[in-house]
Amino acid sequence: MIYYGTKIIQKNNLLETKFLEMPTSKQTTERAKAKKNIVFEAAAEVFAQYGYKRTTMNDIAQASDISRPALYLIFDNKENLFYELVANRLDISIERAISALSLEATLNTRFIDALLAFEKAFYEPVASSPHGAELMDTSQSLAADVLTKGFSKLVTAFSNTIKEAEKCGEANFQDTPLTPKSFVELLITALGGIKKKAKTTTEFRKQTTQVAEIFLATITD
């Protein structure tokens, strides 16, 4: 057994010395991850409130209820924190989309629910911010590689779902020159245009559903 310190405790009116066990590497990793998640949640709210340029590391430290030096032990600087925040939010959003795709339902239902689940987790929190445009531009400039890799993973997940549906006879690409991959890429591009024009979340969700239904109608009976 490895010990890293002691603690004096009272038991049956007697003072005893209790040896404290050294945390395992797994416990240390889990604690570090938990701290990061707390910072991510706080940082997302601060960036949404003030925008990227006006937000400081001190703002995020206060919102996270940790000291500024402690924050710098986790992230090198604001750019590094924002980069990892984008990656974190994208991973969560993709996981929710994949979860929706795996449910037992029709292709149309799973496909649309997955699209909305992704957008709700990744796009809508930014779109609802008065600094949404700045945050999206900053994401493109500071985390372009993360976005590219993430959206590639998203396209693959949707494409695989369509391929499985095609094998089961639920989808048919005989009347279209598109492949499952190009179909998904074209749809996501179309939804990108809606994001720029939709004035409210409700409007965006409605238009997303309508466009997805039009696309899906070309490959389903």
Q: Whole-angstrom Cα distance, residue 186 to residue 159?
A: 12
At residue 20, the pLDDT reads: 54
User: What is the C-alpha separation between 155 and 148, in angstroms, rounded?
Assistant: 11
In a domain, 13, yes or no: no
H-assigned helices in 55-143: 57-64, 68-74, 78-101, 107-122, 124-127, 132-142
Residue 205 maps to a domain: yes
| CATH at 194 | 1.10.357
Residue range 67-120, pLDDT digits in tens: 999 999 999 999 999 999 999 999 999 999 999 999 999 999 999 999 999 999
Q: What's the structural domain count of the chain?
A: 1
- Judge whether 56 lies within some domain: no
- Domain with 145, as residue range(s), is 86-217
Contacts of 191 (CB under 8 A, 6+ apart): 115, 119, 208, 211, 212
Residue 141 domain flag:
yes
Q: Are 21 and 3 in contact (CB under 8 A)?
A: yes
Query: For 141-175, what is each residue's pLDDT tens digit?
Result: 999 999 999 999 999 999 999 999 999 999 999 88
| Predicted local confidence at residue 23, as pLDDT | 61
57 close to 68: Cβ distance less than 8 angstroms: yes
Angle between the N-to-C axes of helices 25-54 and 132-142, in degrees from 0 to 180, rounded to the nearest 10:
120
Nearest CA among 81, 61, 80, 79 for reference residue 71: 61
- Decide if 131 is inside a domain: yes
Please check whether residue 18 lies inside any domain of the structure.
no
Contact assessment for residue 169 and residue 219, using Cβ atoms and an 8 Å cutoff:
no
User: 35 lies in a domain?
Assistant: no
Tell me if 32 is assigned to some domain: no
3-state secondary structure of 168: coil
Q: How far, in Å, CA of 110 to CA of 112, rounded?
A: 6
Tell whether pTM > 0.85. Answer: no
Confidence at 51, pLDDT banded by 50, 70, 90 = very high
